[in-house]
Amino acid sequence: MAWPRLRRRRAVPAPAVPAPCALGRHTVHTERLLLHTPATQLDLVAAIATGSDGGAQRWLGLRDEEIVADIRLRETLVRMRPGDSDRRLPRELLATFELDPGADVTVLVAVRRDDGRYAGALQLNHADGQTGGWLAPHARGLGLGAELFHAGALLGHAHFGMDTVHAGTEATNAASRGALTRAGFVPAEGPPRHTLRDGREIDSTWFRHESGPVGRCRAAAWSDPGLGPAGCDRRPTGGSATGG
């Protein structure tokens, strides 16, 4: 009997941790995800690509111009890590992601902490306190949805000072409803029907997440000078979020 020769695997580098929140850029940690404001256009487009497949768009219902429709490009982006380079990608994707101080929505790109790949995206609307997001195909079914929504609640409470964070999903989307529940969201009142951006009308269900003490970080103060600055590189309070 001969022992098989073991191949030495290349170590997977841990994702680089962005600087603490400042100048409109946010950083949020969960147990298995690192979420941060896009640093480059590649970060933003890759985040969009993670939710551009048919499985995600069944629920998200974005318009064609809002997704990465090219399958080859989408698959390339979803395999990448922040900082990766690929000659096949347009050079303009290497440009810095410029922040808009007047934007109503904050977008964070999600990265897996185990292998550094782009894992999804998170959004928070400042006007109505509504959060939402999606995961890449390789990040689904691992319980990361609960961590993603927990990060959305944390972004609203600890970064923007919101007492209540809201979320909605299609009534038949059991995975999303379960992830919201595990993230600490509870059922809330809301319109029974909702029109997606592609025009489809769906049955909807709504949730809310309430917090004790809230806070605001330097990044939020940058977009609204009336907010008092407070340093932050936020991690979940009361234990990290974990998905089931």
Write the pLDDT tens digit of every residue in 130-154.
999 999 999 999 999 999 999 999 9
CA distance 56 to 227: 36
Q: Read off the pTM.
A: 0.82
- In 98-217, which ranges are continuous DSSP H helix? 144-154, 174-182
Mean pLDDT value across residues 12-38:
79
pLDDT digits (tens, 9 = 90+) for 156-200: 998 889 999 999 999 999 999 999 999 999 999 999 999 999 999
What six digits make up the tokens of 235?
A: 């991690």
Q: b/e for 53-66, b at 16 or more Cβ within 10 A?
A: beebbebbbbeeee
For residues 143 and 239, the model is more confident at 143
At 226 the pLDDT is 46
Mean pLDDT value across residues 35-39:
94
Q: b/e for 169-192, b at 16 or more Cβ within 10 A?
A: bbeebeebbebbebbbbeeeeeee
CA distance 105 to 18: 20
For residues 90 and 13, the model is more confident at 90
3-state helix, strand, coil in the chain (%, to 5): 25, 25, 50
